[in-house]
Structure 1
Amino acid sequence: MKQYYVYILKCNDGTYYTGFTSNLEERIQNHNSGKYKDAYTFKRRPVLLVFYESFFEPNQAIMFEKQIKKWSKSKKEALISGEFDRLQALAECRNATHSKYKPNNG
């Protein structure tokens, strides 16, 4: 059965790149070799694989990749370090206009 991977690379400039592939080893080699000159990682090499998750369903992997791409750097770092309990706290809206943070005038 074919496997698919969602991965996070730490770039040389300290940023993170999240991707999806069916061949993890080859994909990381492509990133580090600069195979694609228009890629985000091209000017941020070398890159280091810091997280990956495998899937048997490509649609699940694609959904997970899209979800992670929206995350903050601190939330990605919690996932990378396995601090799963922090993910929920980091996901909460901290905007002053959020109902949780508005003063109760009632």
Structure 2
Amino acid sequence: MKYVYILRSLGADERFYVGLTDDLRERLRKHNAGEVPHTSKFRPWAVKTYLGFDNPDRAVAFERYLKSPSGRAFARKRL
């Protein structure tokens, strides 16, 4: 199972991060431990939304979509 997830920073700046993983709990732990360089400055993180996919190709495509301008607008409005 692949998970596409959106994290929300609990810090002063409200930031969001979209990612893809096989193990959501472990990935969140890594984000909050500072082991992910891109997100380490904006800790702590909480899971805002996640979706599970049994098809890895669809998971990658959905993650790519959420990182696009129209995908970000969709996520803000619907997720």
Q: TM-score range by the shorter chain?
A: 0.7 to 0.9
Please, which runs of 5 or more residues in structure 1 have no aligned partner?
A: 81-106
Show the counterpart of 2:5.
7
Aligned residues: 76
Residues 8-47 of structure 1: matches in 2 within 5 Å? Answer: 8-11=6-9, 12=11, 13-36=13-36, 38=37, 40-47=38-45
Residue 61 of structure 2 is aligned to residue 63 of structure 1: yes
What is the letter of the counterpart of residue 75 of structure 1? Answer: F
Q: Spell out, residue by residue over 1:71-104, the C-alpha distance to the aligned partner (whole angstroms, 9 max, x if none).
A: 3655322222xxxxxxxxxxxxxxxxxxxxxxxx
TM-score with structure 2 setting the length: 0.86
| Structure 2 CA distance for aligned equivalents of residues 74 and 23 of structure 1 | 26
TM-score between the two structures when normalised by the length of structure 1 = 0.66
- Where in structure 2 are there 5+ consecutive unaligned residues? none
**RCO comparison, higher one (Cα < 8 Å, 6+):** 2
4+ residue runs over 6 A deviation: none
Q: How large is the RMSD of aligned CA atoms in angstroms? A: 1.4
